[in-house]
Amino acid sequence: MTYSKLDQPEALSHIFHPVREARNTPPLNATDVDIEVEAGINISCRFYAAALDAPNIFFFHGNAESVSYYDEIAQVYTSHGLNLFMTSYRGYGWSDGEPTVTNMFADAVLLYDKASLWLKENGYTAPIIVMGRSLGSAPAIEVAKERDAVIKALIIESGFANTLPLAINLGIDVEASGLTEEDCFRNCQKIVDVKRPTMIFHGSRDTLIPAAEAENLQSFCGARGKQFHVIPGAEHNTMIEVGGKLYFETIRTFTDTLLGINNWRRLRKEFKKRAEVK
């Protein structure tokens, strides 16, 4: 697949909004993992550890974000017993290079492969669930399609099915550029090949990417086991704020089911620990 029309400067300026920043000090439970995607080009990644045997969430963040943006949010993931491996894109945070659609997709699969190896080498042996938010839904679906045989599941938050409506919302002159869906991300076409369990989240008040886009993704998804959740009152960037504790509990319940963990037993054990602390 080629993305030459999306890689034109006038389109790229609307698609990507890199936030460049100096590397900050990672939290106590976090480790920076810089992954080389080509000679001289490293992508900034950060791993937040819950436990060696905890499920691993491999996460592609949204636009105008960076891995350090998740330093606080990651603590909620780890408190729910989930390891979080945040990855990024060229030009975001302290990553090298400049982002294009072509290198975003090529890098995504390579990042997954190298992150998977790093996790194994460091003793994090539980399965990997690929997750993407907003812009990150596209590389997440790409990885899920290309590595369907080895990933455990796919989670999409605020993702899009068709590119043209989003391109128009972002300010791209679709008519002048001659763009068609065939020239674009092709999320709908790709997710057909995803057979692993899939969970899709979306906000009911998302105006950038309407919930109907998530419904399309869900309908095209090739997985037999798939879930679709709309968070009432949530906008594009308020999913966690509005969803609150239930947002994370839903993800943990999903991963528990995937791994065959008895959720009732886990909750009883956690309750017992809290009682002992008191």
Q: What is the pLDDT of residues 49-80, one digit of tens each?
A: 999 999 999 999 999 999 999 999 999 999 99
| Residue 255: closest CA among 44, 57, 37 | 57
Q: What pLDDT, on the 0 to 100 scale, is given for residue 268?
A: 54
**pLDDT bracket for residue 176 (50, 70, 90):** confident
Q: Cα(93)–Cα(64) distance, rounded to whole angstroms? A: 9
CA 127: distance to chain centroid? 16
Closest Cα to residue 227, out of 162, 155, 159, 151?
155
Per DSSP, the three-state class of 62 is: coil
45 has pLDDT over 70: yes
> Which tokens in the block code for residue 2?
């080629």
Kind of pairing between the strands at 153-157 and 226-231: unpaired
232: exposed, middle or buried (C-beta count within 10 Å: 0-12, 13-18, 19+)?
Answer: exposed
Q: E strand or H helix at 258, and its extent?
A: helix 239-259
**Residue (of 199, 50, 51, 208) closest to 132 by Cα position:** 199
pLDDT of residue 277: 59
Pick the CATH number of 9-277 from 3.40.50.1820, 2.60.120.560, 3.40.50.510, 1.20.20.10: 3.40.50.1820
At residue 50, what is the residue type? A
Average pLDDT over the chain, rounded to whole? 94
Closest CA to 159 of 211, 222, 96: 211
Strand order in the sheet with 198-203: 30-38, 41-48, 83-87, 56-60, 128-133, 153-157, 198-203, 226-231
**In angstroms, rounded to a whole number, what is the distance separating the alpha carbons of residues 180 and 165?**
11
Which residues partner with 45 through β-bridges? 33
pTM value is 0.93
pLDDT band of residue 128 (cuts 50, 70, 90) is very high
Asked if residue 274 has pLDDT above 70, the reply is no
pLDDT at 208 over 70: yes
CA distances from 192 to 101, 161, 202, 254 (A): 20, 11, 19, 21
Question: What pLDDT shows up at residue 1?
Answer: 76
pLDDT computed for residue 160 by the predictor: 98
For residue 192, give the 3-state DSSP assignment. Answer: coil
d(CA 111, CA 45): 9
As a three-state string, the secondary structure of 142-185 is HHHHHCCCCCCEEEEECCCCCHHHHHHHHCCCHHHHCCCHHHCC
* 132: its two tokens: 């993407």
CB 111 within 8 A of CB 35: yes
